[in-house]
Amino acid sequence: MTDMPNDAAKTPSHGPSRRDFLRTAGLAAGGAVVGAGANAASPDPLITEVQPYASFLGEGVDATPYGMPIHFEDHVVRRNVEWLTADPISSINFTPIHALDGTITPQGCAFERHHSGAIEMSKDEYRLMITGLVERPLVFTFGDLMRLPRVTRVHFCECAANSGMEWGGAQLNGAQFTHGMIHNMEYTGVTLRTLLDEAGVKPEGSWIYVEGHDASSNGRSIPMEKALDDCMIAFSANGEALRMEHGYPVRLVVPGWEGNLWVKWLRRIGVHDGPMESREETSKYTDLMPDGRARKWTWAMHAKSVVTSPSPQMPIGHGPGPMVITGLAWSGLGKIARVDVSLDGGVNWQTARLGTEPGDKAVTRFYLDHDWDGQPMYLQSRAIDETGYVQPSKEQLRAIRGLNSIYHNNGIQTWYVNESGEAENVEVS
Amino acid sequence: MSKCRKLITTTALITVFGAVPALADTLGVGRLALPEEIAAWDIAVMPDGRGLPEGRGNVLDGEDYWIDQCAVCHGDFAEGAGAWPAIVGGRGSLTDDRPEKTVESYWPYLSTVWDYINRSMPFGAAQTLETDEVYAITAYILYSAGLVDDDFELSNENFTEIRLPNEGGFYLDDRAEAEFPEFTQDPCMSDCRDPVEISARATDIDVTPEFPVIRYSYSDGSAPAPAAIEEADEASVQPEEAPAEEAIQTASLDPALVAAGEAAWRQCRTCHQLGDGARNGTGPQLNDIIGQTAAHADGFRYSPAFTEAAEGGLVWNEETLDAFLENPAGLIPRNRMSFRGVRSEDERAALIAYLMSYSN
């Protein structure tokens, strides 16, 4: 590990310090002639000179038994907005969606939301209980769950408050902060239907109440119809065990519905004849309307999209010419059918190319291959799902819901991109 | 699925163990929950009072518990403290520009209040309250909300007689009726509106944390704007491992004990911070506490009881910390640390060692 060639490989002459890494590539091409297909003014030393990594040896296997992203990617991390909450233990951070591509969110940078902190619980300590209006109240160990028929499905999990800071106007300057309370993972686990069948739901059991092992317990009520439709408990995400911050060893997956229902460290499933009206489904996660009354049971996350690049954290760094406009689209009502992109703030729209086969209640990637003329753009995207629901504008939402509903803001986002390619969060009129 | 399921069922019947009879339509995995286990976990309370345990508590007792357990975050009169939520007030504010959503103004059911206090409060010491204490604290909230008199006693028997003011303030999700007709119109593709103007910019509000801007190099000669890179570099430099922490490790401390203390610190860190950049939060920061007179943290609003103890000459050493950690209210009566103490002597010793590792 400390022999000379390896060290040298890690410290080439031009120094890959953190301060330099974003700059290095940029300077290497400095002085070249502007224009696509142009000739270089002078040979590129990255090509003509033998680089340390082309001569010395790199790291051997097992240098990192569990690999982390190369340090050049250290900036691709979850970020917190400290002033949002009183304490980081009951708080939220944001997925760096601006810096990711494809659709699957790596667990290590998928947003976290805790109500009493992320708890440490082993698989051996884990117990799940089913109680209430069932023929057989049951206790499962983690091992027991592994013996039940298993399914693997991809779904997005979006906090109801994603974009909630934007109700009053453009506030946070970055896709990570305006739209980063979402992740999209491939979950493996057992359907709630399988578990509830084991316990035998009595005819009067019309709701379940789910709660976690942590001090908040974050209890939520879910109608039996949804529980039996597509809910599952998950013990794996993206092929490996859940991370502690996402509910290791077992969390609930409630496809298409707000993230608060996806109870982590799932401890108990109670079967009842009505909703519990817990703290999280009355005082929180209800939508205050302009008349002072509030909508409740607004579980489904409606169709939404955002351009992730270019965006404030991911400006256009080059001049006019070919570029890729890309983003994410999702709907809690089903599959994404289409995504439109506007370059002029919604005057004219063109349909983007879907980069992946849309999945049910899963994130879809879209691309617009664009020939930029170097002029300012007002970038917007508009998701349309298979039910025909069209992502509304913020004005449309505010006309109905006012400014104080906090949750379920799925309005169309605008990034203003200036001549230099820098992007910022704006609202347009 | 059904075919596959049948196959698995057969296999499970052969290998099943435990108390669950494998019925024709089940796999027989898991075991029956015992009544004691159900009683321990099935504690949820419904709006009609189902699930409430027998018990009672009055407003005056509730005030005492409140001051001890709740006031540090929620204020002496449940009006809230710092960024922590107010519990009462705000009635009639729900149509204001800044609505105050409290138990008094917004929460629909008292069962929710009781259940949440019972299972999740105090923050950092959940499920330490006795049943009667939960009734008393709930009674005190009702009193602070102006809903009952000061001689009121709340019990499982009169619980459902109490209705919160905003019970009728909620209606079921009507987005399908109220929004879908408008939001399912065929989307316009061209000349959909007048040319746009910027009406608001996030940069004017300027509340976004610093972040690095990602830029690449391009063969067309575009190079990142130097200013943007500088900003990016500053923000992308992660704080290194705090050197101060290691520097102040005292040689005489038993590393194993300090490690055990770090594990035990979990119950303290909700309110207290240690190490580089430690700040006062719900509780004071505790750097360099050894050898200090009580109430040492600058800028922290200590309870009168704590200030009196300091004036009385209380100095933090292994002995006084041990006594305080064992029974905070015993050493300093009516102090506001919502913490019942550490019973285990070993755990207290570990915590003190851990605190010493952050003291010069």
Give B292's Cβ-side CA count (13 Å radius): 16
More confident residue, A313 or B290: A313
Asked if residue B132 has pLDDT above 90, the reply is: yes
Q: Dump pLDDT digits (tens) for A234-249.
A: 999 999 999 999 999 9
Query: What CA–CA distance (Å, rounded) separates B248 from B252?
Result: 12
Neighbours of B176 (CB within 10 A): 12
**In this predicted structure, which of A101-110, A124-133, B107-116, B305-314 has the lowest mean pLDDT?**
B305-314
Query: What CA–CA distance (Å, rounded) separates A250 from B205?
Result: 40
* SS3 state of residue A199: helix
Residue whose entry in the numeric block shows the structure tokens 């009493």: A116
Sheet holding A79-80, edge to edge: A79-80, A91-94, A113-114
Query: What CA–CA distance (Å, rounded) separates A198 from B32?
Result: 11
**Residue A369 backbone zone (phi > 0: left; psi -120 to 50: alpha; other: beta):** beta
Distance from the first to the final alpha carbon of chain A = 59
According to the model, what pLDDT value does residue B59 have? 98
Test the A interface: residue of B2, B87, B95 with most A CBs within 10 Å:
B95
**If we measure between CA atoms, which residue out of A282, A149, A160, A262 comes closest to residue A211?**
A262
Write out chain B residues lying below 8 Å of A169, CB-based: 200, 205
Asked if residue B239 has pLDDT above 80, the reply is: no
Chain B's closest residue to A342, CA to CA, is B189
**Residue A335 backbone zone (phi > 0: left; psi -120 to 50: alpha; other: beta):** beta
Amino acid at A104: I
State the DSSP H helix or E strand holding residue B7, giving kind and residue range, or none if neither: helix B2-15
- In sequence order, what DSSP letters do the residues of A26-48 get, joined into one string? HHHTTTPPSSTTPPPSS--HHHH
Residues above pLDDT 90, as percent of chain B: 56
Please provide residue B320's backbone torsions phi and psi, each rounded to the nearest 5 degrees.
-70, -35
**If we measure between CA atoms, which residue out of A220, A202, A201 comes closest to residue A210?**
A220
Q: Is A78 an 8 Å CB contact of chain B? A: no
List alpha helices for A336-390, DSSP H: none
Q: Where are the beta strands (DSSP E) in B135-223?
A: 153-155, 170-172, 198-201
According to the model, what pLDDT value does residue A342 have? 98
Query: What CA–CA distance (Å, rounded) separates B304 from A266?
Result: 42
User: Residues A172, A425: contact at Cβ < 8 Å?
Assistant: yes
List alpha helices for A360-409, DSSP H: 394-401
The token pair that represents A216 in the structure block: 């908040």
Please provide residue A230's backbone torsions phi and psi, each rounded to the nearest 5 degrees.
-145, 10
**If we measure between CA atoms, which residue out of A244, A285, A249, A278 comes closest to residue A266?**
A249
% helix, strand, coil for chain A, step of 5? 20, 30, 50
B192/A315 touch (CB, cutoff 8 Å), yes or no: no
**pLDDT class of A3 with cuts at 50, 70, 90:** very low
User: Residues A112, A118: contact at Cβ < 8 Å?
Assistant: yes
Question: Which of A22, A313, A387 lies at the smallest CB-CB distance from B229?
Answer: A22
Strand A266-272 to strand A127-132: parallel, antiparallel, or no bridges (unpaired)?
parallel
Cβ-count burial of A49 within 10 angstroms (0-12 exposed, 13-18 middle, 19+ buried)?
exposed
**pLDDT class of B333 with cuts at 50, 70, 90:** confident
Neighbours of B318 (CB within 10 A): 14
According to the model, what pLDDT value does residue B266 have? 80
According to the model, what pLDDT value does residue A86 have? 82
Q: Cβ neighbours of residue A286 under 8 Å, at least 6 residues apart? A: A294, A295, A296, A298, A407, B170
Q: What integer is the mean pLDDT of B47-76?
A: 96
More confident residue, A260 or B210: A260
Query: What CA–CA distance (Å, rounded) separates A300 from A328?
Result: 18
**If we measure between CA atoms, which residue out of B153, B55, B48, B54 comes closest to residue B110?**
B48
Question: Which of A277, A286, A350 lies at the smallest CB-CB distance from B111?
Answer: A277
According to the model, what pLDDT value does residue B20 have? 55
Q: Is A235 an 8 Å CB contact of chain B? A: no
Strand A423-428 to strand B198-201: parallel, antiparallel, or no bridges (unpaired)?
antiparallel
**pLDDT class of B25 with cuts at 50, 70, 90:** confident
**pLDDT class of A38 with cuts at 50, 70, 90:** low
B126/A429 touch (CB, cutoff 8 Å), yes or no: no
CA dihedral B259, B260, B262, B266 (to 10 degrees): 150
Q: Is A71 an 8 Å CB contact of chain B? A: no
Residue whose entry in the numeric block shows the structure tokens 């600058």: B298
B95/A211 touch (CB, cutoff 8 Å), yes or no: no
Asked if residue B12 has pLDDT above 80, the reply is: no
Q: What integer is the mean pLDDT of A129-151?
A: 98
Domain with CATH 1.10.760.10 in chain B: 56-169, 244-356
Q: Dump pLDDT digits (tens) for A145-183.
A: 999 999 999 999 999 999 999 999 999 999 999 999 999
Please name each of the domains of chain A with its CATH number: 79-296 (3.90.420.10), 304-426 (2.60.40.650)
Q: What integer is the mean pLDDT of B192-209?
A: 94
Query: What CA–CA distance (Å, rounded) separates A261 from A254?
Result: 7
Asked if residue A395 has pLDDT above 70, the reply is: yes
Query: What CA–CA distance (Å, rounded) separates A361 from A299?
Result: 13
According to the model, what pLDDT value does residue B18 have? 44
Question: Which of A28, A283, A424 lies at the smallest CB-CB distance from B101?
Answer: A283
A171/B95 touch (CB, cutoff 8 Å), yes or no: no
Distance from the first to the final alpha carbon of chain B = 66
According to the model, what pLDDT value does residue B23 have? 64
What is the distance, to the nearest Å, from the Cα of residue B248 to the centroid of all Cα atoms in its chain? 31
* SS3 state of residue B40: helix
Chain A's closest residue to B115, CA to CA, is A278
Average pLDDT of chain A?
92
User: Residues A306, A179: contact at Cβ < 8 Å?
Assistant: yes
From residue A59, alpha-carbon distances to A3, A4, A99 in Å are 11, 12, 26
**In this predicted structure, which of A160-169, A206-215, B284-293 has the lowest mean pLDDT?**
B284-293
CA of B260, closest CA in chain A: separation in Å? 16
User: Residues A283, A139: contact at Cβ < 8 Å?
Assistant: no
Cβ-count burial of A18 within 10 angstroms (0-12 exposed, 13-18 middle, 19+ buried)?
middle
User: Residues A231, A172: contact at Cβ < 8 Å?
Assistant: no
Query: What CA–CA distance (Å, rounded) separates B284 from B294?
Result: 11
Chain A's closest residue to B270, CA to CA, is A89
CA of B197, closest CA in chain A: separation in Å? 5
Asked if residue B31 has pLDDT above 50, the reply is: yes
**In this predicted structure, which of A287-291, A421-425, B347-351 has the lowest mean pLDDT?**
B347-351
Q: What integer is the mean pLDDT of A120-141?
A: 98
Q: Dump pLDDT digits (tens) for B133-190.
A: 999 999 999 999 999 999 999 999 999 999 999 999 999 999 999 999 999 999 999 9
Q: What integer is the mean pLDDT of A186-190?
A: 98
Sign of the Cα pseudo-torsion (B173, B177, B178, B179, in order): positive
According to the model, what pLDDT value does residue B282 have? 79
More confident residue, B344 or B45: B45
Residues above pLDDT 70, as percent of chain A: 91
Q: What integer is the mean pLDDT of A377-399?
A: 98
According to the model, what pLDDT value does residue A171 have? 96
3.40.50.300, 1.10.760.10, 2.60.120.680, 3.60.20.10: CATH of B244-356: 1.10.760.10
According to the model, what pLDDT value does residue B190 have? 98
Give CATH superfamily name and number for B56-169.
Cytochrome c-like domain (1.10.760.10)
A288/B99 touch (CB, cutoff 8 Å), yes or no: yes
More confident residue, A215 or B222: A215
Amino acid at B50: R
**In this predicted structure, which of B89-93, B131-135, B159-163, B280-284 has the lowest mean pLDDT?**
B280-284
According to the model, what pLDDT value does residue B269 have? 81
According to the model, what pLDDT value does residue B265 have? 87
B195/A347 touch (CB, cutoff 8 Å), yes or no: yes
* SS3 state of residue A114: strand
Q: Dump pLDDT digits (tens) for A331-361.
A: 999 999 999 999 999 999 999 999 999 999 9
Question: Which of B41, B224, B225 lies at the smallest CB-CB distance from A267?
Answer: B41
Report ipTM for this prediction. Answer: 0.89
**In this predicted structure, which of A276-285, B122-131, B249-258, B293-302 has the lowest mean pLDDT?**
B249-258
CA angle A112–A260–A217, rounded 5-degree value: 90
Q: What integer is the mean pLDDT of A64-86?
A: 93
A290/B216 touch (CB, cutoff 8 Å), yes or no: no
